[in-house]
Amino acid sequence: MSSSSTSLHPAPTPTHGAPAPTGPAHDSCDDVTADGAAWLASAETYPRSALTHWRSRPGAPAVLPCGSAFDVVSVPAVFGRRMLDRLWEEGPGSGPVAAHRGRVLLFAAPGTAQRLPALLEWEEWGGGTEVPPVLCHGTGDAVTVPPLAATGPGGRLESRWLVAPGTRHPWLPGPEVILWACVRAARSAASSAVRVSIFPGGDQSAKVYDVSRRR
């Protein structure tokens, strides 16, 4: 890709079923709804057994396979915050998003993990713009996701939902949308020295992204 085409990244056009962006909010969106839990469980071989287990331990994290219901793109926390800001302020919004052990997990459309690395490598960043390590989890991988319900301040620091699953068929961004967010976030990082943590305690004014009022 030429440097001239790199500079032209219009906001992705929302596809059918994509959320209507309302912008970031300070309201909490920590708890997964029953429909959202059913969607997460659909990634398992035995969804009903998974749901039964989660209901007995709503405060425990879960390990889910990727590649069927969703892929997951994992980025460092600060960069992930910038990606979310760009997605919600300038783009089509996001699918479910979690924070876990210093990284942001963006749930993406199946197949994203296979295509995104090539798109990132193809992109000519230039101008001192850099993208931190992006981990793509797809078929054959598994990720740890936060508990279905918030577990209090202690648990929130390590693992929590920023955009909790709320429907059985959430809209999920594809590789092109994730690439667009990476480009915008990288440019934002290059032009700003401000570092803001998404985690409570590090910054009490940190934003989370509440989509419950749109459902």
Q: Where are the domains of the chain?
A: 25-214
Cα 51 to Cα 33, 68, 158, 190, distances in angstroms: 12, 17, 23, 43
Query: Which pLDDT value is given to residue 174?
Result: 98
Q: Which residue has the tokens 């961004």?
A: 173
Residue 32 gets which letter from DSSP? P
Phi, psi (degrees; rounded to nearest 5) at 47:
-60, -40
Q: Dihedral of CA 199/204/206/210: which sign?
A: positive
Ranges in the chain, pLDDT < 70: 1-30, 125-129, 151-157, 189-215
> Which SS3 state, helix, strand or coil, does residue 162 take?
strand
> Which SS3 state, helix, strand or coil, does residue 201 take?
coil
Query: Which pLDDT value is given to residue 7?
Result: 37
Question: Pseudo-torsion of CA 14, 9, 172, 63, nearest 10°?
Answer: -160
Q: How far apart are CA 48 and CA 31, in angstroms?
A: 19
Number of residues in the chain: 215
Query: Which pLDDT value is given to residue 13?
Result: 54
CB 170 within 8 A of CB 95: yes
